[in-house]
Amino acid sequence: MSENPLLAPIHGITLEDYSAACAKLGSGLSEADIAKALGVELPVWQEANLLWPERMKQDSTYHIVTLFGQYFGAADQHPKFGNLKPAASAGGSDNIEKIKTDKDFYLELEVARQVAYEYGLDGAQWILDKYSIPIGDFQIAASLWSDQILKDIHANHEGYNQRQDVYRAKYQQLFADAQGGNVADDIEF
């Protein structure tokens, strides 16, 4: 590994282990599931879960945070967590896979989530309720798509924005209809 002492494993839990564990926690696994997969007792996992963020705060180069993001996005390939998934419906499982393989589906749900927040809803909960995609899997998809989305924006900024605007209008209408309209709909100037 690196010569950076901040990257040394904590109780045998590497940064890669910790990052994948965080992703899987966000996908619905329990801390007990995480500890079992890592082969440690729950209190050992819980202490590592407190100490890794402290190390990240100590790293003025942000190297640990950068690696954390890379490992978080690759959680499904981690040898201890790759096949470990919480119980989910078949539809949820399909949507979880789809958001990681279909960029347009991800982009649409990213906009839907933001618009939900604008309408006073918990966007992450709305995605979970409607598509059975936990926030951890949503964030894994975000990290998987981030480089490609940046390339798309650089290649065709206007086209990217137009597509996002179409999604935004769709979900603004959906949430406004669900709430009986927008607050200012009945105001005439």
Q: Three-state SS for 176? A: helix
Residue 122 confidence (pLDDT) above 50: yes
Supply φ then ψ for residue 34, to 5 degrees: -65, -50
Dist CA 160 CA 109 (whole Å): 15
Give pLDDT tens digits for 129-178.
888 888 888 888 888 898 899 999 999 999 999 999 999 999 999 988 88
Give pLDDT tens digits for 27-73.
778 888 899 999 999 999 999 999 999 999 999 888 998 899 889 88
Per-residue pLDDT, 184: 52
Measured in Å, how far apart are the chain's first and last C-alpha atoms?
Answer: 66
Q: What's the whole-model pTM score?
A: 0.60
Place of tokens 């309720």: 129
